[in-house]
């Protein structure tokens, strides 16, 4: 899938806002604020539930990695997430 198409589909899910659980959160990490080299996707099945976290890393920017963005979208779709949250600011690690 095209990286732009995957990013648009994820953004569309984010823009729906909070619709209950299950919930998925996407957060980006990097050594600088300009390049995200890691992404963490967190799944919550219910409020106060145990979070399930999966991380993906890359040598290049994960926000522009077609394979990683496609995988994130597939995880969101297959989890049946009612709510998708995305932190667009890169957390420095």
pLDDT digits over 45-73, tens only? 999 999 999 999 999 999 999 999 999 99
Q: Return d(Cα 92, Cα 32) in angstroms, integer.
A: 6
CB 66 within 8 A of CB 9: no
* Residue 46 φ then ψ, to 5°: -155, 165
pTM value? 0.89
Q: What is the SS3 assignment for 34?
A: coil
pLDDT tens-place string over residues 38-48:
999 999 999 99
């Amino acid at each position: 899938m095209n990286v732009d198409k995957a990013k648009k589909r994820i953004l569309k899910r984010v823009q729906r806002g909070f619709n209950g659980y299950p919930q998925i959160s996407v957060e980006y990490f990097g050594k600088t604020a300009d390049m995200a080299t890691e992404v963490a996707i967190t799944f919550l099945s219910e409020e106060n539930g145990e979070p399930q976290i999966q991380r993906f890393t890359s040598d290049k920017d994960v926000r522009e990695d077609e394979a990683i963005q496609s995988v994130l979208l597939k995880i969101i779709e297959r989890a049946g997430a009612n709510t998708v949250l995305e932190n667009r600011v890169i957390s420095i690690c």
